[in-house]
Amino acid sequence: MSLSFEGRVVLVTGAGGGLGREYALAFAERGASVVVNDLGADTKGGGKSSAAADKVVEEIRAKGGKAVANYDSVEDGEKLIQAALDTFGRIDVVVNNAGILRDRSFARTSDLDWDLIHRVHLRGSFLVTRAAWNHMKNQKFGRIIMTASAAGIYGNFGQANYSAAKLGMLGLSNTLAIEGKKYNIYCNTIAPVAGSRLTETVMPPDLVASLKPEYVAPMVLWLCHEQCQENGGLFEVGAGWIGKLRWERSQGRTVRQKNQPMTPEAVRDQWDKICDFTDATKPNSIQESLQSVVSELSRVESEGEVGANPTAALASAASASGINPAEAVGQKIPATTFDFSHVQCILYALGVGMSTQDPDHLRFLYENHPDFGALPTFGVIPSQAAMMEGGLSSVPGLNIDLTRVLHGEQYLELFKPLPTSGKLISQATVADVLDKGSGALILLDVNTYHGDELICFNQFSVFVVGAGGFGGKRASEKAKAALPPPNRAPDAVVIDSTTKDQAALYRLSGDWNPLHIDPDFAAMGGFKAPILHGLCSFGFAARHVLKHFAANDPSRFKAIKVRFVKPVQPGQSLQTEMWKEGNRIHIQCKVKETDAVVLSGAYVDLHGAPEASPENLPQGAGLQSELVFAEIGRRIKDLGSELVKKVNAVFGWEITKDGKSSAEWTIDLKNGTGSLHKGPYSGKADVTFTVSDEDFMEVVQGKLNPQKAFFSGKLKVRGNIMLSQKLEVILKDYAKL
Ligand code: NAI
């Protein structure tokens, strides 16, 4: 289907000659009613004549087209739009094309040279477009073109005034694209190259002749057609060739360390890295641009481990390490199938220390028990094949030495209780590869399906000793973070013994690494004797939580995260310490005999505690912020649907006390009529704030400005930082509290 402009009214500024004339003719030929604007000035903006516009209108009419002339300067923007409304009754398309030149070397540029250029190009485009804006908004259709120039994009000798104005038009276009989007008003920018009276002084005559305006016009027509969904783009166009431009940003470098001043020397020393475009990113919104700055800010504050500047030795290790994140991230490992029956479920339960001596355990050990089920942490078993069978080292960009691999952390989330038999398919993807200096950290995300149904998600954090220093990033948004326990005595402690054969039993569930059974192999790894599987201690700790806080009901189990710190010898006793914080149970696991911490930063999330309503909010946590959240809960109850309409976002809050995470809240103003609950959001919150209890109160009481809190590092923000502005809607009435 050819692109028709029947019924559309198009204004082309500066259409008395050159490119503008060509646009006007082309629009008219396809049925548009065209306002042919031209002041009839000379190339420097002097003089005035109606002849140029009249001639183009005559040409259009001679071919049976509809056109009217307008002789006003674009500096009278309203008049141009009025001409369209008076003659044709509407305005659909504005092509800001009028232009002049006053080239001078910079030192000789006069005020007039500067101002005239800005008035015609930048201010003229602003005035004409503003006059059209509300009409476009009301009719929910508009297409706008800004005409920039290569001189603006790249700079050009003698065109300081012109290049500044031209790139100003790109900035204008970028914002109009955002503001107009929801009204179906799209704005794009072109940097044309064409032979015209503006270029005949700088280009050889035969080039001027061959760079025809008709090799540009079809691009403008496409961008202005209702079918075209391009918005906020920048294009170079000439001689029939069209290319799109975008921003590229280097990975960059943080040159600051926690609690230390930032210095120009640090900037100098990192200069090559700052300017290195290897693995460059292409942010395309202010959110994307800010996000990395903000996440870097919170990373510096939380980790304080920035600026580990790769030395020459490390850099050469990089090429030897065989790690290439750009190649590896996103790679999938061939899917694995896990075919099982109740036998594997029971074997696993025995492997993690369940015993018929405990009557509670029978439901996991006896297939005819009325409540027979799989332990929730059995969910790691089907997914581990992806790791076991050397899948990782076959991934392009992950040329790693499997003998140097350590299992660093594990996250498991269940989307429904596990089946007790059947066929499960696991699909693993390399989610990220981080450079931790002394090693590489690989995040492997594994989704496990039963038929079409997603049953569980695992994230393996695999540390490859000695494979760091390849110059990659040090933190990832994709990582499921370990969290420290609250700073108080645990709410519950369970001590449980492992048997001398615990590892021999656990390995039958599928982890056949000889490290856990073969004394010679263990000795080669530097261990006195074979060690227990980290995931076995993980199973112990998880069932301690399940028993203590969820009455052994597997359907209450949502997720678990642990960090493996030290090995356990089979036969040692495990001491699981637990802290209840709403639906989250923080855990730490020690070897009782040595008091060594073996699992840290761990937690289990449970389902099923009732929604936090003001009546049943936990009182004991001793946080002042609890009161405010109770009030927010009340407010959501009263005004939920209104707030959902206004805000439409999920806010996560992490409240810290004495530097440790103490409470998490989710304010959901996106789903249903809104809700508040204590604990993290089940999906990904749109924005998450981390702030201390004290600073939270200061902000709420209006004593601390949120922006100040953010820039001083007191308030950390992850996700869409722009949503912070909507917080006011939720918090504004609390100053009274
Ligand atoms: P042109 O000089 O043939 O056309 C510009 C038209 O704008 C002229 O007819 C002029 O009378 C009119 N005009 C000047 N001031 C005006 C005002 N205040 N109000 C209304 N009309 C006014 O030049 P050309 O080459 O067709 O340029 C069109 C646009 O493309 C300009 O904005 C120019 O800066 C831009 N451009 C052109 C390039 C090229 O290679 N031709 C390169 C990069 C940008």
DSSP 420-487: SSEEEEEEEEEEEEEE-SSEEEEEEEEEEEETTEEEEEEEEEEEEET---SS--S--TTSPPP-PPPS
Mean pLDDT computed over 631-641:
80
Q: Which residues contact 563 (CB under 8 A, 6 or more apart)?
A: 408, 409, 482, 599, 600, 601, 602
CA-nearest residue, atom 44 of ligand 1: 149
Q: Mutate which of 95, 97, 122 to test ligand 1's pocket (most atoms within 8 Å of Cβ)?
A: 97
Q: Which residues contact 291 (CB under 8 A, 6 or more apart)?
A: 719, 720, 721
Tens of pLDDT, residue by residue over 233-283, are 999 999 999 999 999 999 888 888 777 888 999 899 999 999 999 888 888
Q: Please say if the pLDDT value at position 307 is more than 50.
A: no
Q: Higher-confidence residue: 443 or 713? A: 443
Q: If 0-12 CB within 10 Å is exposed, 13-18 middle and 19+ buried, where does residue 15 land?
A: buried
Contact between residue 136 and residue 183 where contact means Cβ atoms under 8 Å apart: yes
Q: Please say if the pLDDT value at position 347 is more than 50.
A: yes
| Residue 244 tokens, joined | 């799109």
100 CA distance to ligand 1 middle (Å): 6
φ, ψ dihedrals at 408, nearest 5°:
-85, -50
Q: Please count the residues of the chain.
A: 737
Q: Looking at residue 449, what is its pLDDT? A: 93
Residues 715 and 696: their CA atoms lie apart, in Å, by 8
The reply to whether 162 belongs to the active site is yes
Mean pLDDT computed over 461-472:
84
Residues with CB under 6 A from ligand 1: 13-14, 16-20, 37-41, 43, 45, 52, 73-75, 97-100, 120, 124, 147, 149, 191-194, 196-199
Q: Higher-confidence residue: 623 or 95? A: 95
Q: Mutate which of 11, 12, 13, 19 to test ligand 1's pocket (most atoms within 8 Å of Cβ)?
A: 19
Residue written as tokens 């903000």? Answer: 294
330 CA distance to ligand 1 middle (Å): 47
Contact between residue 87 and residue 78 where contact means Cβ atoms under 8 Å apart: no
Tens of pLDDT, residue by residue over 499-518, are 999 999 999 998 888 889 99
Q: Mutate which of 25, 36, 39 to test ligand 1's pocket (most atoms within 8 Å of Cβ)?
A: 39
Q: Please say if the pLDDT value at position 320 is more than 60.
A: no
Closest CA to 197 of 262, 101, 282: 101
Residues 709 and 713: their CA atoms lie apart, in Å, by 6
| Residue 186 tokens, joined | 């799209």
Q: Which listed residue (71, 162, 506, 681) is catalytic? A: 162
Contact between residue 386 and residue 428 where contact means Cβ atoms under 8 Å apart: yes
Q: Give the whole-number percent of the chain exceeding pLDDT 90.
A: 56
Q: Which residues contact 223 (CB under 8 A, 6 or more apart)?
A: 143, 145, 186, 188, 190, 230, 233, 235
Q: Looking at residue 697, what is its pLDDT? A: 82
Lowest mean pLDDT among 386-390, 514-518, 535-539: 386-390
Tens of pLDDT, residue by residue over 672-700, are 888 888 888 878 888 888 999 888 888 87
18 CA distance to ligand 1 middle (Å): 7
Closest CA to 665 of 683, 687, 681: 681
Q: Please say if the pLDDT value at position 542 is more than 80.
A: yes
Q: Sorting pLDDT into bands at 50, 70 and 90, what band is 568?
A: very high
Lowest mean pLDDT among 326-335, 367-376, 463-472: 463-472
Q: Looking at residue 151, what is its pLDDT? A: 94
Q: Which residues contact 502 (CB under 8 A, 6 or more apart)?
A: 351, 353, 532, 536, 570, 571
Q: Mean pLDDT of all residues in the chain?
A: 87
Can you give the C-alpha Rg of the chain in angstroms? 33
Mean pLDDT computed over 83-92:
98
For helices 160-180 and 124-139, give the axis angle rounded to 10 degrees.
Answer: 10
With DSSP H G I counted as helix, E B as strand and the rest as coil, what are the percentages for the chain, rounded to 5? 40, 25, 35
CA-nearest residue, atom 8 of ligand 1: 14
Tens of pLDDT, residue by residue over 169-199, are 999 999 999 999 999 999 999 999 988 877 7
Q: Please say if the pLDDT value at position 84 is more than 60.
A: yes
Residues 383 and 335: their CA atoms lie apart, in Å, by 10
14 CA distance to ligand 1 middle (Å): 6
- Rounded (10°) CA dihedral 98, 101, 106, 109: -100
Q: Looking at residue 682, what is its pLDDT? A: 79
Q: Which atom of ligand 1 is nearest to the CA of 74?
A: 19
| Residue 531 tokens, joined | 């060690």
Contact between residue 316 and residue 471 where contact means Cβ atoms under 8 Å apart: no
Q: Please say if the pLDDT value at position 214 is more than 90.
A: yes
Q: Looking at residue 321, what is its pLDDT? A: 55
